[in-house]
């Protein structure tokens, strides 16, 4: 898998590239989502209000970023009970700030977005790989690779970076009903996996 990440800080891009190459080359079995911690979450992880920025699509799969981001937001709401800012409100604020699609936000812009939405953390992400079961007439395993960033609302700095890659066949021996056969179902599964790992690492379920 070739990895390119546009619109992100160069140091983060190098870090993620090394991570994806290491995991892809040395893992005989699929590993769970990997979380790189630069700093601790605010409020000891007891956050409820989250703003999710539009994800970017680094694949040739049309609307990959929209598909995955909506499954991920649904997981935040349904699995963690988090209060997620409306997608339309986020896009309206970015438009008012003259932020172009795919443009990396500065720390000041992240703080401004979070302040206007009342968010405690801000999440951005990129879809690095998305492949459906049938591509150009060939039968393939659906696959998905994503990288997500949790940023502090008060400072705009990156706190956690998370990488996750999965294929439909990865769940053959785990899920009793067998292989995941669609990229949509895989996106839903990957979203929940990431959230569960975050909670294990210290993100608390919202109780508001």
What's 157's domain CATH number?
A: 3.40.50.10610
Q: What is the mean pLDDT of residues 139-162?
A: 91
Q: By C-alpha distance, which of 203, 157, 123 is closest to 38?
A: 157
Structural domain contains residue 111: yes
pLDDT grade for 196, boundaries at 50, 70 and 90: very high
Structural domain contains residue 162: yes
Structural domain contains residue 2: no
pLDDT grade for 117, boundaries at 50, 70 and 90: very high
What is the distance between the alpha carbons of residues 71 and 125, in angstroms, rounded to a whole number?
13
Structural domain contains residue 102: yes
This prediction has a pTM of 0.84
Report pLDDT for 27.
Answer: 46
- Residue 141: domain span: 10-201
Give the CA dihedral 124, 128, 132, 135, nearest 10 degrees. Answer: 140
Report pLDDT for 135.
Answer: 57
Instruction: Count the domains in the chain.
Output: 1
Structural domain contains residue 5: no
User: Beta-carbon neighbour count of residue 46 at 10 Å?
Assistant: 15
pLDDT of 24-54, one tens digit each?
A: 544 444 677 889 898 999 999 999 999 999 9
Structural domain contains residue 90: yes
- Tokens representing 164? 């996750």
Structural domain contains residue 59: yes
Average pLDDT, the chain: 85
pLDDT of 94-110, one tens digit each?
A: 999 999 888 889 999 99
Greater model confidence, 178 or 187: 187
Structural domain contains residue 3: no
């Amino acid at each position: 898998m070739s990895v390119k990440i546009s619109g992100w800080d160069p140091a983060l891009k190098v870090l993620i590239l090394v991570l994806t190459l290491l995991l892809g080359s040395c893992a005989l079995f699929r590993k769970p989502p990997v979380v790189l911690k630069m700093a601790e979450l605010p409020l000891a992880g007891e956050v409820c209000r989250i703003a999710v920025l539009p994800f970017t699509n680094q694949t040739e799969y049309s609307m990959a970023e929209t598909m995955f981001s909506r499954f991920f937001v649904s997981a935040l709401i349904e699995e963690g009970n988090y209060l997620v800012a409306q997608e339309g409100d986020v896009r309206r604020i970015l438009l008012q700030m003259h932020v172009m699609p795919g443009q990396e936000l500065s720390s000041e812009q992240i703080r401004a977005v979070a302040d206007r939405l009342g968010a405690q953390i801000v999440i951005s992400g990129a879809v690095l790989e998305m492949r459906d079961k049938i591509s150009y007439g060939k039968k393939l395993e659906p696959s998905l690779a994503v990288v997500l960033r949790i940023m502090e609302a008060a400072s705009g700095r990156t706190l956690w970076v998370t990488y996750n890659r999965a294929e439909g066949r990865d769940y053959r021996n785990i899920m009793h009903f067998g292989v995941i056969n669609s990229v949509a179902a895989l996106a839903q599964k990957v979203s929940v996996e990431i959230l569960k790992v975050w909670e294990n690492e210290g993100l608390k379920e919202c109780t508001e």
